[in-house]
Structure 1
């Protein structure tokens, strides 16, 4: 307590309030993942019943390639969206959108604007002040990590997808195919492309709709009273 018996209010809510966005969406992710597991398990057993095969429990389903491919094909499309968005918005602009940089700031910007090297402040990350490879890596770290997560999840999708595809082929008394052959299959590319197109549509829609529409209090929207042509302004 401060003198006079009042509480300090500089960090009201502490850890939970300061991290509510991550905690809320992280918790929602776990709830939805669990719900997906239950629904997917029921659907998988329905398919087994149609084929005259014995049903399996939830535990074995969670360890199955069928569950793994359903999860990873969504993950890789999300990481692809953020990778493309992080890199694309360096050079691509949308007049009037808060999702775009101002029209006069296209490109990687100056060291002064980015507060790197001699322009770094005492509060800047330590690698931002470095002039060697550390600064170069850190300056692209978000895009590199998103690209890495996309490639890893896409690889996981390909492996689990090949296993799930072969399980189906075996149930239909067909010969399994190798992983390399599966990479060129319609099943693999159908799973990938149907997710990619939806993510690209979502990004394009957000960029355009945020020019004319508003959400009061959201950093993804311009202030309600901002003109439509205002670019790179957040609420």
Structure 2
């Protein structure tokens, strides 16, 4: 068990933080939604019912969508773009290990590398494909949840409901998206630029403390 925790400490820590904060979101989102329902003259709902509401679906996938978009674009753009001095960038002045073609003779190479062909062709881009697919699925779930929440609110007010074809151009949906996207892009910009001049000893996201500001990559 100790070996498992040591080998997987980073993922365990972040997954535990995810679970803790997700539970917090559910608890306070449930209370907030019931408060809105009562203020609009409706009856409160149970926690189980809350999981199927647009309020829960929209608030969850709105955030997941922006995270996967951010990470997907970071993976893709670091292939082609450089930031001199940043630990988040490749050094284009020297050959990078990640640019070399995979070899099936390498010890402990993943099975797609040994298989070759179209499986390897997909595997070479599998990280980007997975992240962008997760973004697309989250985007669709966000749209569904946001539309459902909008119609739940319109129903409480006795107003006509919106169709998906109408809501895709609605300012609320795109406001929800852009307010999250911009914050994610700002955070990536911050780590790219700040890692040029600032250091954190012991972190893989930082250059060595005594490295010059012009050193690119970790």
The whole-number CA distance in structure 1 between the counterparts of 2:102 and 2:120 is 8
| Structure 1 residue 116, shift from structure 2 partner | 1.1
Counterpart contact for 1:99–1:232, Cα < 8 Å: yes
**Which protein has greater RCO, CA pairs closer than 8 Å, 6+ apart?**
2
Residue number among 195, 212, 221 corresponding to 2:180 in the alignment? 195
TM-score by length of 2: 0.93
Residue number among 19, 39, 54 corresponding to 2:28 in the alignment? 39
Partner of 1:79: 68
Partner of 2:149: 164
The whole-number CA distance in structure 2 between the counterparts of 1:230 and 1:14 is 34
Counterpart contact for 2:42–2:156, Cα < 8 Å: no
The whole-number CA distance in structure 2 between the counterparts of 1:79 and 1:54 is 36
| Structure 1 residue 126, shift from structure 2 partner | 2.6
State yes or no: 1:214 paired with 2:214. Answer: no
The alignment partner of 2:32 has SS state of: helix
| Structure 1 residue 114, shift from structure 2 partner | 2.5
| Structure 1 residue 42, shift from structure 2 partner | 1.3
Counterpart contact for 1:116–1:129, Cα < 8 Å: no
Partner of 1:8: none
The whole-number CA distance in structure 2 between the counterparts of 1:105 and 1:176 is 58
| Structure 1 residue 110, shift from structure 2 partner | 8.7
State yes or no: 1:17 paired with 2:11. Answer: no
The whole-number CA distance in structure 1 between the counterparts of 2:126 and 2:94 is 20
C-alpha distance after superposition, 1:138-160 (max 9, x if no partner): 10000000010000010111111
TM-score by length of 1: 0.87
Partner of 1:7: none
Residue number among 95, 98, 102 corresponding to 1:116 in the alignment? 102
Gaps of at least 5 residues in structure 2 are none
The whole-number CA distance in structure 1 between the counterparts of 2:30 and 2:72 is 31
Partner of 1:91: 80
- Coordinate RMSD, CA, aligned: 1.9
Larger radius of gyration: 1
Partner of 2:211: 226
Superposition map of 1:139-154 within 5 A: 139-154=124-139
Partner of 2:55: 66
Aligned length: 218
Gaps of at least 5 residues in structure 1 are 1-11
| Structure 1 residue 44, shift from structure 2 partner | 1.1
Counterpart contact for 1:49–1:55, Cα < 8 Å: yes
Report the CA distance shift for 1:14/1:215 in structure 2 as closer, same or farther (over 3 A): same
The alignment partner of 1:19 has SS state of: helix
